């Protein structure tokens, strides 16, 4: 998995996120400006303003304005928005130039303020004509196939990623779209581009069972409510665990948890527990670890002794567990900057369609089985994907992943599909502090990842939170250094953060990073209940070499090296490090943190240590120099990788022994 740190200078990092990040001009009447509604709920909505350069000349810089009757903006992204009605928006520099035929968009969240959703006209010298709607207009924009304010009719169908959904009754939102006995929210087809959207016609439906299809349907949350509020989306009670697909409508749904880990009985993977016990780790063999769906062949067991997804879920029921952690990890061009965990799907080989149809679809089919409706599914979404789009665009596979069918489209599709299941809680991976912790990386990453999520069907309510340090080694705290980030050492006035190991990164520890990330996301329009997870499976850094006091040296690098608990040769080293078992999983250990979790099962390899070795069951995984103990990295340091490692995900008993020895807190 990719664990590089700072991005290469001069590499563009403004990405498409489904929108061309071209720039706009100040030349009068050169572009078409339009306003559309993205996602709508009872009290508000997210909107988008699009500027399409229809001129033959490039535009340099842009400013537009609009005004509401009752609606008011609460937050925005990808533009400098000012005013308090009327509003004005201007470019951010990186999205200020629009080439001919290119488009730029920016978004915002709107409070209806007691009224209905409005689609005002967009004006400005850059606009060739007034945009869609007017200040009093609440109708559907002409450019949109459907919006929540339009009236659905009984003969209509929703074409969603090639599946036709028919009208159905929805006990919470009045009506919705139904396919395969699943009733999805009314707004699922909102603002979908051709060929998706609404097809057909007929009479107005009524919000009652008379408009339902013949299939029984399960209640789903109304699109008008936040998935973090107890009155909104819901999770099934344990009484439904033995139900079959024909009895979905009788599921007894309970309130959806703000923190899904509270009051839960966590599933323990018995295959991992057996390996841990056999390797001397009986003391932690009862700890819950995530199950990785790292290839299509992992969904249904193809190897002797392997458990497929349904096998694991059945085992969870046998254990009486009601919380199950699964890693969704098979995007096209996966791990685009590294080789150890390269995936099987390539964008150039129809990877996106395979991801949708051969990977996500069967996972969703299994997870939607009512037999598992009592289990809270914690979905860790695509480790390392979106962070790679911030720092590694100099790698062709990463640059390719910025385009259509790449990481953003794949992530949004995953969120949309999992969002149909009320007992699934999705957490988006955000790398770690030693990767995105620098100010420039942090700012670009938060905007990019926020925009990717906001473009999903349920917007900011598509996720339960974010997860950091997945498969990582960054400690929760640097007990002797965290408070000294900006302090100076020696007579030269050198700040501690300027040491070679930290390279001016403000975040020495993972808790500092995730709490800053959470605050930033709330400022970008995410709910204040958003939660964070930290993978603590291997970041303990205990043992005899763990420092017990701050250094007394006055030489900066010596001071830092003698004081830090993270003993890697370089902070960017990520493969098979001599870390230690970290904090055991805990619920709500710090403000804003839902849980410490073990996403990476301790003892499983990060990547093969020698070139030329093929994993016959997963040949896409290759050799990366960062896993070779003899390799000198681009950072000029050794890798610190342990010798003799098998391919990523395979059991590595020698590494497990070191993790046990270096556990912190120490094992009993």
To the query of whether residue 384 is one of the catalytic residues in this protein, the response is: yes
CATH number of the domain to which 28 belongs: 2.60.40.290
Is 413 a domain residue? yes
- Residues 508, 601 within the same domain: yes
- Residues 20, 59 within the same domain: yes
Is 149 a domain residue? no
| pLDDT tens digits for range 158-187 | 664 445 666 654 333 344 555 444 444 444
Nearest alpha-carbon partner for 163 in 347, 361, 458: 361
- Residues 64, 103 within the same domain: yes
Please pick, among 91, 269, 606, 618, the residue that the annotation labels catalytic.
Answer: 606
- Residues 558, 634 within the same domain: yes
- Residues 250, 316 within the same domain: no
- Residues 73, 189 within the same domain: no
Is 148 a domain residue? no
- Mean per-residue pLDDT of the chain: 81
Cβ-contact 519, 557 below 8 angstroms: no
Is 514 a domain residue? yes
Is 150 a domain residue? no
- Give dist(CA 13, CA 9) in Å, integer: 10
Report which listed range, 3-17, 43-57, 480-494, 649-663, is most confident: 649-663
CA dihedral sign, ordered 212, 215, 217, 223: negative
Residue 79 binned pLDDT confidence (cut-offs 50, 70, 90): confident
Tell me the whole-structure pTM to 2 decimals: 0.67
- Residues 110, 177 within the same domain: no
Is 634 a domain residue? yes
CATH number of the domain to which 489 belongs: 3.20.20.40
| pLDDT tens digits for range 374-418 | 999 999 999 999 999 999 999 999 999 999 999 999 999 999 999
- What pLDDT is recorded for position 176? 56
Please state, in angstroms and as integers, the Cα–Cα distance from residue 576 to each residue in 59, 98, 295, 359, following that order: 49, 45, 21, 28
Please state, in angstroms and as integers, the Cα–Cα distance from residue 31 to each residue in 79, 89, 180, 191, 477, following that order: 17, 15, 43, 21, 51
Q: Which of 87, 109, 143 corresponds to the end of one domain? A: 143
| pLDDT tens digits for range 198-227 | 666 543 333 322 222 222 222 222 222 222
- Give dist(CA 311, CA 323) in Å, integer: 15
Q: Which of 143, 169, 199 corresponds to the end of one domain? A: 143
- Residues 551, 449 within the same domain: yes
Give the residue-averaged pLDDT of 116-126. Answer: 91
Cis amide leading into 162 (omega within 30): no
- Residues 553, 607 within the same domain: yes
Enclosing domain of residue 328: 270-661
- What pLDDT is recorded for position 342? 84
Is 420 a domain residue? yes
Please pick, among 52, 294, 384, 594, the residue that the annotation labels catalytic.
Answer: 384
Sequence-ordered list of residues with C-beta below 8 angstroms from that of 347, at least 6 positions apart, any chain: 332, 333, 400, 401, 403, 405, 406
- Residues 229, 334 within the same domain: no
| Residue % of the chain over a pLDDT of 90 | 62
- Give dist(CA 224, CA 216) in Å, integer: 23
Is 84 a domain residue? yes
Cis amide leading into 86 (omega within 30): yes
Total domains present in the chain: 3
To the query of whether residue 566 is one of the catalytic residues in this protein, the response is: no
- Residues 178, 319 within the same domain: no
- Residues 73, 179 within the same domain: no
Please state, in angstroms and as integers, the Cα–Cα distance from residue 243 to each residue in 174, 179, 361, 399, 496, following that order: 25, 19, 21, 46, 59
Q: Which of 92, 108, 143 corresponds to the end of one domain? A: 143
- What pLDDT is recorded for position 64? 93
């Amino acid at each position: 998995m990719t664990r590089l740190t700072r991005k290469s200078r001069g590499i563009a990092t403004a990405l498409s996120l489904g929108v061309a990040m071209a720039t706009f001009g100040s030349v009068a009447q050169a572009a078409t400006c339009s306003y559309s509604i993205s996602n709508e709920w009872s009290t508000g909505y997210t909107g988008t303003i699009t500027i399409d350069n229809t001129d033959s000349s490039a535009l340099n810089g842009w400013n537009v304005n609009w005004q509401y009757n009752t609606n008011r903006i609460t937050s925005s992204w990808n533009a400098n928005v000012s005013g308090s009605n009327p509003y004005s928006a201007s470019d951010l520099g990186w999205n200020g130039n629009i080439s001919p035929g290119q488009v730029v968009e920016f978004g915002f969240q709107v409070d209806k303020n007691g009224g209905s959703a409005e689609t005002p006209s967009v004006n400005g010298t850059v606009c060739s004509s007034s945009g869609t709607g007017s200040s009093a207009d609440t109708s559907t924009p002409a450019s949109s196939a459907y919006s929540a304010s339009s009236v659905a009719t009984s003969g209509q169908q929703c074409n969603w990623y090639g599946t036709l959904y028919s009208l159905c009754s929805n006990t919470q939102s009045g009506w919705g779209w139904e396919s395969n006995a699943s009733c999805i929210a009314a707004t699922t087809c909102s603002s979908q581009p051709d060929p998706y959207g609404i097809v057909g016609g007929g009479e107005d439906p009524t919000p009652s069972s008379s408009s339902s299809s013949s299939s029984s349907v399960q209640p789903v949350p109304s699109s008008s409510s936040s998935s973090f509020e107890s009155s909104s989306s819901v999770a099934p009670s344990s009484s439904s665990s033995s139900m079959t697909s024909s009895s979905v409508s009788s599921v007894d749904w309970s309130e959806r948890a703000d923190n899904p880990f509270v009051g839960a009985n966590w599933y323990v993977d018995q295959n991992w527990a057996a390996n841990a016990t056999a390797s001397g780790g009986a003391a932690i063999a009862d700890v819950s670890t995530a199950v990785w769906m790292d290839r299509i062949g992992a969904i249904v067991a193809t190897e002797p002794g392997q458990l497929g997804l349904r096998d694991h879920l059945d085992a969870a029921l046998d254990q009486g567990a009601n919380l199950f952690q699964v890693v969704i990890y098979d995007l096209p061009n996966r791990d685009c900057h590294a080789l150890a965990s390269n995936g099987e799907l390539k964008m150039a080989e129809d990877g996106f369609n395979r991801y949708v149809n051969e990977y996500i679809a069967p996972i969703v089919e299994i997870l939607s089985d009512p037999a598992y409706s009592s289990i809270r599914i914690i979905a860790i979404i695509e480790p390392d994907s979106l962070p790679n789009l911030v720092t590694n665009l100099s790698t062709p596979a990463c640059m390719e992943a910025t385009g259509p069918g790449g990481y953003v489209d794949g992530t949004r599709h995953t969120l949309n599909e999992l969002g149909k299941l009320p007992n699934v809680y999705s957490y988006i991976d955000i790398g770690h502090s030693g990767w995105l912790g620098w100010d420039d990386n942090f700012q670009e990453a938060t905007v990019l990842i926020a925009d990717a999520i906001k473009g999903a069907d349920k917007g900011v309510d598509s996720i339960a939170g974010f997860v950091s340090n997945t498969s990582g080694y960054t400690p929760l705290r640097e007990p002797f250094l965290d408070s000294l980030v900006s302090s100076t050492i020696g007579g030269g006035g050198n700040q501690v953060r300027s040491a070679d190991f930290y390279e001016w990164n403000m975040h020495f520890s993972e808790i500092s990073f995730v709490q800053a990330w959470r605050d930033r996301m709330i400022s970008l329009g995410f709910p204040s209940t958003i939660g964070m997870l930290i993978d603590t499976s291997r970041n303990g850094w205990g043992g005899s070499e763990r420092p017990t006091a701050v250094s007394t040296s006055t030489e900066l690098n010596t001071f830092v090296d003698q004081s830090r608990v993270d003993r890697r040769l370089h902070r960017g080293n990520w493969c098979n490090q001599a870390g230690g078992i970290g904090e055991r999983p805990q619920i709500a250990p710090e403000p804003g943190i839902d849980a410490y979790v073990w996403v990476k099962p301790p003892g499983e390899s990060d990547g093969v240590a020698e070139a030329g070795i093929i994993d016959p069951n997963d040949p896409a995984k290759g050799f990366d120099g960062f896993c070779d103990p003899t390799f000198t990295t681009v950072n000029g340091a050794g890798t610190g990788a342990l010798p003799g490692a098998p391919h990523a995900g395979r059991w590595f008993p020698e590494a497990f022994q070191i993790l046990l020895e270096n556990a912190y807190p120490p094992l009993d």
